Structure 1
Amino acid sequence: MEQNNLQLRSGIVGGTFLSTILNITLHDVLFTVVMVVIGAVVSFFVSWLLRKVFSSKKRM
């Protein structure tokens, strides 16, 4: 019975993975890359700005 459950789970996971991979287009990948770059840049500048704001308040 345990072997049957393993085969069923493997089939479900494999089928889901393959159907997802086949539906991803180059446009989706490029869009994701652009969003990651924008997010990283915004995160960096917000961190930098907050560090500047709070370090100047400590000096006062």
Structure 2
Amino acid sequence: MIDTAKTRKHNIWRVGQKSYQSYVAHVLFDFSINFRNVGQVNLIDEHKTHHLRTILENH
């Protein structure tokens, strides 16, 4: 491997591109999980508030 400025720049660019791709994949993965869980989270929150309301009304 000849270490010239050109190859060094190319390697830095390749590494940067890889980390960017993994970052994007990570964000999309997180988003898809969050998107899938939104309905469940809302149900859980409604369940919790319902319990809190009944507890408060009984006291």
Same fold (TM over 0.5): yes
Runs of 4 or more off by more than 3 Å in structure 1?
none
**Pairs aligned (count):** 39
| Aligned equivalent of 1:7 | none
The letter of the residue matching 2:21 is V
Report the counterpart of residue 56 of structure 2 in structure 1. Answer: none
Counterpart-to-counterpart distance in 2, 1:52 and 1:42: 15
- Structure 2-normalised TM-score? 0.55
**Superposed CA RMSD:** 1.4
Say if 2:10 is the partner of 1:31. yes
Q: CA deviation at 1:59?
A: 2.1
State the SS of the aligned residue for 2:3.
coil
1:34, CA displacement in angstroms?
A: 0.6
Write the distance in 2 (CA, Å) between the matches of 1:31 and 1:39.
12
Percent of counterpart pairs with the same letter? Answer: 10
Question: Gaps spanning 5+ residues in structure 1: where?
Answer: 1-19
Point out where structure 2 has 5 or more consecutive residues left out of the alignment.
40-59
